């Protein structure tokens, strides 16, 4: 029930296309939970993320992992000498020389062979287990809001450690489990070639235990910031008039306040970054008024924040 509520909140605040995917690496001796099935055919870890976000709940032991590189990275098997050497990256023309391949391999996070016995994947709302990480397939705008939610709760900016190699196994699963920090991935050769992740989609992985706090921050952002940004609140009108070559011009902005609409709430003055506006008595009522029009930078914040649509900006030019 907890996972279902978390998934519902994420869907509501972010308007997700795909279910977030719960991922757990089974420890030796750990029982397989009820409600999961073993796939009939071998499947890659990146493909299992695709299948899970579409509703499938699976347990995938080593014998059913189709990518020995990913299975080795996640500590399910001992990686072959051929994969460990980096030679295949040269054969696929994905890296220029063996030194580069070895450096990339040495820099990725891995688990020791035998650390885990299988991977568990399920859509978060159906997961009857505590995931290690939750992997999202997102549009960049949705990933941005998850980053904003992380900063909302901590004040810290995100630092990502990612690559176009070994995305869902190394960057989204192992690294996030080890560091307990969210991480982003743009996919890799295998993930892009063997799953249906769209060209415009990215992955983001979050440690499961951090999810409730992130969702609490998302709820706060969804009260104002998310819907405002999605409405393109500060989009100015198109200005077709441009200065002619050789003719100097100075842009100025005329701020027009419809006093019949204005209710004197003061939001325009509060949000104005240049203190261009204030509220004061006009004809016996509290109204917004311009006190420093020459400082207006045309950011359109006052226009977007006015609940009565009482403010317009009129760009104009003074030619010399």
Instruction: Give me the residue label for tokens 């001796």.
Output: 29
Say whether both 150 and 266 belong to one domain: no
**Cα(120)–Cα(125) distance, rounded to whole angstroms?**
14
At 314, is the pLDDT very low, low, confident or very high (cuts 50, 70, 90)?
confident
Dist CA 261 CA 287 (whole Å)? 9
Residue 242 lies in a domain: no
Predicted confidence at residue 197, as pLDDT, reads 93
Mark whether 154 and 291 lie in a shared domain.
no
| pLDDT surpasses 70 at 239 | no
Indicate if the alpha-carbon torsion angle 188, 109, 6, 212 is positive or negative.
negative
Instruction: Indicate whether 16 and 152 sit together in one domain.
Output: yes
Q: Does the residue 239 lie in any domain?
A: no
Are 99 and 193 found together in one domain?
Answer: yes
Q: Assign residue 266 the CATH number of its domain.
A: 3.30.70.20
Q: Are residues 94 and 137 in the same domain?
A: yes
Residue 18 lies in a domain: yes
Range of the domain at 292: 249-319
Same domain, residue pair 49 and 177: yes
**What is the rounded average pLDDT of the residues 191-220?**
96
CA distances from 34 to 30, 146, 214 (A): 12, 31, 28
| Predicted confidence (pLDDT) per residue in 265-291, tens digit | 999 999 999 999 999 998 889 999 999
Distance CA 185, CA 162 (A): 6
Judge if 195 and 63 occupy the same domain: yes
Single residue among 228, 262, 287 that ends a domain in this structure: 228
Instruction: Say what the pLDDT of residue 283 is.
Output: 85
Give the C-alpha separation, 2 to 16, whole Å. 19
Domain boundary among 228, 261, 279: 228
Burial of 258: CB neighbours in 10 Å, binned 0-12, 13-18, 19+: middle
How much is the pTM?
0.89
The residue among 148 and 250 whose pLDDT is bigger is: 148
Q: What is the pLDDT of residues 63-72, one digit of tens each?
A: 999 999 999 9
Q: Domain check: are 267 and 190 in the same one?
A: no
36 in any annotated domain: yes
Is 91 a member of any domain? yes
Residue 320 confidence (pLDDT): 44
- For residue 27, being part of any structural domain is answered with yes
Domain assignment present for 236: no
Q: Do 183 and 304 lie in a common domain?
A: no
In the predicted structure, residue 204 carries a pLDDT above the cut 90: yes
**What's the number of domains the chain is made of?**
2
| Position 244 in a domain | no
Q: Tokens in use for 47?
A: 């493909």
pLDDT at 235: 80
Question: What is the overall mean pLDDT for the chain?
Answer: 93
Nearest to 298 by CA among 252, 267, 263: 252
State the pLDDT at residue 315.
74
Question: Using one digit for the tens of pLDDT, what is the confidence trace for 94-146?
Answer: 999 999 999 999 999 999 999 999 999 999 999 999 999 999 999 999 999 99
């Amino acid at each position: 029930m907890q996972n279902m509520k978390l998934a519902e909140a994420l869907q509501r605040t972010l308007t997700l296309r795909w279910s977030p995917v719960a991922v757990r690496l089974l420890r030796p001796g750990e029982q397989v939970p009820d409600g999961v099935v073993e796939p009939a055919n071998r499947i890659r870890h990146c493909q299992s993320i695709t299948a899970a976000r579409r509703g499938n709940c699976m347990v995938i032991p080593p014998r059913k992992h189709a990518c020995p590189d990913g299975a080795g990275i996640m500590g399910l098997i001992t990686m072959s000498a051929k994969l460990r050497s980096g030679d295949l990256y040269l054969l696929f023309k994905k890296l220029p020389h063996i030194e580069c391949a070895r450096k990339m391999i040495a820099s990725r996070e891995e688990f020791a062979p035998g650390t885990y016995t299988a991977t568990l994947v399920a859509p978060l709302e159906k997961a009857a287990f505590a995931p290690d990480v939750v992997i999202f397939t997102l549009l960049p705008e949705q990933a941005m809001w998850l980053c904003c939610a992380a900063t909302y709760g901590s004040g810290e900016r995100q630092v990502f450690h990612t690559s176009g190699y070994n995305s869902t196994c190394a960057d989204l699963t192992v690294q996030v489990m080890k560091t307990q920090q969210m991480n982003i991935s743009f996919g890799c050769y295998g993930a892009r070639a063997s799953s249906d992740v769209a060209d415009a989609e990215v992955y983001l992985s979050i440690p499961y235990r951090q999810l409730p706090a992130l969702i609490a921050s998302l709820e706060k952002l969804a009260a104002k910031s998310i819907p405002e940004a999605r409405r393109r609140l500060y989009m100015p009108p198109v200005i077709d008039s441009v200065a002619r070559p050789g003719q100097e011009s100075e842009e100025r902005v005329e701020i027009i306040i419809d006093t019949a609409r204005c209710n004197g709430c003061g939001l325009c003055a509060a949000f104005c970054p240049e203190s261009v506006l204030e509220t004061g008595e006009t004809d016996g009522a509290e109204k917004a008024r311009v006190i420093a029009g020459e400082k207006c930078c045309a950011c359109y914040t006052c226009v977007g924040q006015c609940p009565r649509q009482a403010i317009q900006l009129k760009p104009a030019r003074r030619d010399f």
